[in-house]
């Protein structure tokens, strides 16, 4: 009798106590929350934090909260490696997020591969290992911009609207991924009948973009295209305009783009991207705006999309994996997943066994149009093969 009563009391006490760390879903993240890259990647981290806060406030996943452990790496490879060692060995996270520069990938992946932990690249450029047909079983990516696919879509848009010969000047940042994408774009453009008249590779700390813009202008470019971090994209354009160049400029709509269009106010400055703008006023945008206000966000709300999409993907994967969410179950769930992007993108985000990027990518083109942000080309869908 005494034993049964004691067991009953213990059971009742367990029900009354709050959930322990072992009873929560756990996500680890290493990201550039400080340092030179923080302005680009910090908003993605904050967007994910806001998403998880909102998810937990609504009850979590089947009554279990989600514990998000954030580690700052300042986009330094050594810090990222130390972060991941701690998250994997000490915190025992079953899934890890990278929101940092590509320089952190190799040391991070050395640790996650050894531990068998799946990784989501969020806001950071997607590595080629997530692409079909041979996606790495532990690497996934929710980031909107993508190598080769962005350039193909951009050039297809130019071809659809250009009148007469197209002479293209290209602007890249002097980092491997940007340089290689511009080389790819130039080769694809030649196949379309476009002429490459200039290809400028610009060092990251450049204080003056005028010399590079001058070469593009003097080469006779009537179109310019840039696939690079936002600072290179926008400053090259502004330098061209200061020189009196009146051509058309197309670039990738990084998270800064929506806030910059009203500042630049140029109808020939086009931004193409996979994420919808908050100027569209969709219900999901209003939901994120409310979460940002409630959570005391320090970044503009229109920069939160990549983090919110990462949250949607992680929640879907954890729900599918079920409890307990082991690293093996999460990796399996992520390898067969369909995520409703709720209008933040033109298509759902679908991962398959062989494709951890997405099966389709949709692009929309925006510009400043008559005192407001307008859509030049609505969603155009491309298959990812």
pLDDT digits (tens, 9 = 90+) for 75-106: 999 999 999 999 999 999 999 999 998 889 99
Q: Residue 187 above 80 pLDDT? A: yes
Q: Residue 188 above 70 pLDDT? A: yes
Output the pTM of the full model.
Answer: 0.90
Average pLDDT over residues 242-267: 96
The percentage of the chain sitting over the pLDDT mark of 70, rounded to a whole number, equals 94
Helices 38-57, 305-321: axis angle to 10 degrees equals 50
Q: Residue 15 above 60 pLDDT? A: no
Q: Return phi, psi of residue 39, to 5°.
A: -65, -25
The reported pLDDT for the residue numbered 22 is 57
Burial of 239 (0-12, 13-18, 19+ CB in 10 A): buried
| pLDDT band at 6; cut points 50, 70, 90 | very low
The reported pLDDT for the residue numbered 5 is 41
Q: Which of 204-208, 223-227, 327-331 has the lowest mean pLDDT?
A: 204-208
Average pLDDT over residues 34-40: 89
| pLDDT band at 17; cut points 50, 70, 90 | very low
Whether 97 and 48 have beta carbons less than 8 Å apart is answered as yes
Average pLDDT over residues 197-210: 94
The reported pLDDT for the residue numbered 3 is 40
Average pLDDT over residues 41-55: 97
Which residue from 117, 85, 79 is spatially nearest to 101, judged by alpha carbons? Answer: 79
d(CA 84, CA 90): 10
Average pLDDT over residues 304-315: 98
Q: For the chain, give the mean pLDDT.
A: 93
| pLDDT band at 13; cut points 50, 70, 90 | very low
Q: Residue 367 above 80 pLDDT? A: yes
The reported pLDDT for the residue numbered 7 is 40
Task: Give 337's contacts (C-beta < 8 A, 6+ positions apart).
Answer: 313, 316, 317, 320, 349, 350, 351
Average pLDDT over residues 299-312: 97
Q: Residue 348 above 70 pLDDT? A: yes
| pLDDT band at 16; cut points 50, 70, 90 | very low
The percentage of the chain sitting over the pLDDT mark of 90, rounded to a whole number, equals 88
The reported pLDDT for the residue numbered 139 is 98
The reported pLDDT for the residue numbered 228 is 92
Q: Which of 175-179, 280-284, 340-344, 381-385 has the lowest mean pLDDT?
A: 175-179
Q: Is the model more confident about 6 or about 345?
A: 345
Q: Is the model more confident about 97 or about 176?
A: 97
């Amino acid at each position: 009798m005494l034993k049964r009563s004691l067991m009953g009391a213990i059971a009742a006490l367990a029900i009354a106590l709050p959930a322990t760390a072992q009873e929560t879903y756990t996500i680890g993240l290493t990201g550039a929350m400080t340092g030179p890259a923080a302005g680009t990647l910090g908003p993605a981290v904050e967007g994910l934090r806001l998403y998880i806060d909102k998810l937990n406030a609504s009850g979590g996943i089947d009554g279990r909260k989600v514990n998000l452990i954030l580690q700052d790496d300042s986009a330094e490879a050594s810090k990222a490696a130390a972060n991941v060692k701690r998250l994997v060995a000490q915190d025992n996270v079953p899934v890890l997020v990278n929101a940092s520069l590509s320089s952190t990938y190799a040391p991070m992946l050395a640790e996650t591969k050894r531990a068998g932990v799946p990784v989501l690249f969020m806001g950071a450029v997607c590595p080629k290992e997530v692409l079909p047909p041979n996606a790495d079983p532990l690497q996934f990516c929710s980031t909107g911009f993508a190598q080769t696919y962005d350039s193909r879509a951009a050039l297809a848009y130019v071809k659809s609207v250009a009148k007469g010969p197209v002479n293209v000047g290209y602007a890249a940042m002097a980092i491997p991924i940007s340089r290689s994408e511009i080389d790819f774009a130039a080769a694809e453009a030649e196949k379309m009948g476009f002429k490459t008249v200039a290809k400028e590779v610009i060092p990251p700390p450049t204080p003056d973009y005028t010399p590079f813009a001058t070469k593009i202008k003097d080469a006779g470019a009537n179109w310019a295209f840039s696939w690079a971090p936002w600072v290179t994209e926008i400053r090259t354009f502004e330098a061209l305009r200061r020189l009196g160049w009146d051509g058309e400029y197309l670039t990738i709509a990084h998270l800064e783009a929506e806030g910059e269009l009203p500042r630049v106010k140029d109808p020939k400055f086009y931004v193409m991207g996979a994420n919808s703008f908050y100027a569209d006023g969709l219900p999901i945008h209003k939901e994120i705006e409310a979460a940002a206000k409630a959570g005391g966000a320090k970044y503009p709300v229109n920069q939160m999309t990549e983090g919110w999409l990462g949250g949607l993907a992680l929640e879907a994967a954890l729900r599918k994996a079920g409890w307990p969410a082991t690293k093996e179950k999460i990796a399996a769930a992520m390898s067969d997943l369909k995520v409703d992007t709720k209008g933040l993108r033109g298509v759902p985000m679908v991962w398959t066994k062989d494709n951890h990027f997405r099966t389709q990518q949709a692009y929309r083109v925006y510009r400043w149009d008559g005192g407001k942000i307008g859509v030049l080309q609505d969603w155009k869908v491309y298959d990812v093969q």
